[in-house]
Amino acid sequence: MRRVVIDTDAGVDDALALILAFRSSELHVEAITTVSGNVHVDLCTENVLLVLEVLDLDDLPPVARGEADPLSRPLLTAPEVHGYDGLGGLHQLMEETGALRYAKPTGKPISKPAWELLAELGEERAGDISLITIGPLTNVAKAIIERPTAMTGYQEIVCMGGAFEVRGNTTSVAEFNIFVDPDAAQVVLDSGIPMTFVPLDVTERVCLEMGHVVQEIHPLGTKLSRFIADVTRAILEYHAVCAGFSGCYLHDPLAVGVAIDPTFCAIKEAFVQVETRPGITVGMTTMDIEEPPNARVCTEVDSARFVKFFLQRIKG
């Protein structure tokens, strides 16, 4: 069993990634840390606590609130994709009785900030813990800046981020998680912690389709299956209008999948850098396979196998 911490900005695909992680016996989630990205960190934290309540777990991991703003830039969020609340408007869904379908979660984050919890776990479980990042890398960078030695205890960082040989999803060259805080991404790269990128090159090839939700998940009739149908509804509609297909990219679930089974992807070692200078290329990620490597990059994915795996785990 692999011990992991998940650092998340708790949007729709983040919620699906958390569900996948907790439905997979190969992983033990030691903690969850939240960071501003898809929405502000306060909403992200509430969203994580809500997902944990829906999962109805016997043993809850600690949840630590993280950084509200990038290291040195204004915050960019993505309400047009994930809704004002990060979960596709889930917070305002009503039952026929007029009651909220999803009440405000009763759980609370711990008092310790995310960067401090990350550093403590890296030190306490040195060599026996990994980090899955599915949001901007602000928390991780701050932990490295504050306690660099402690952070070297992480075996690996599996990072959903980057766009190497495909168009970006925020600018023509930049993927959202990296674009929000490119300075943090470069700090993490420079730290020497082993790092595997799960970029748009592979995540945009794995998709939860409307048919999967309508025909396979919703009919299960469980609290979790209803949550998945509810949380994906708006993003399925968004992609139908803006991208011409009714589906939800499984960006963050694929990062969890790679942490479980790296053979879902073909992976290359490369020298990776992030453009941090102001201008039209800020947030761009580059890889050079001729230089001494500082990271690994997923370049191909067995899409059908991963989607089948994801659905099997979701359906239990």
Q: Looking at the annotation, which residues are catalytic?
A: 251
Q: Please provide residue 310's backbone torsions phi and psi, each rounded to the nearest 5 degrees.
A: -60, -50
Host H or E run for residue 207: strand 207-209
Measured CA to CA, the distance from residue 253 to residue 16 in angstroms comes to: 6
Beta bridge partners of 34: 8
Q: Is 88 left (phi over 0), alpha (psi -120 to 50) or beta?
A: left
DSSP tag of 294: S
- Phi, psi (degrees; rounded to nearest 5) at 130: -125, 165
β-pair partners for 268: 297
Q: How many CA atoms lie within 13 A of 224 on its CB side?
A: 21
Helices 12-22 and 251-260 pack at an angle, to 10 degrees, of 20
3-state helix, strand, coil in the chain (%, to 5): 40, 20, 40
Collapsing DSSP to helix, strand or coil, 141 comes out as helix
Within 13 A of 81's CA, how many CA atoms are on the CB side? 18
Cβ contact 193:159 at 8 Å: no
Cα separation, 91 vs 43, in Å, equals 10
Whole-number Å distance between alpha carbons of 63 and 148:
22
Q: CA 52 to CA 123: how far, in whole Å?
A: 26
Residue closest to 151 by CA, chosen among 181, 179, 120: 120
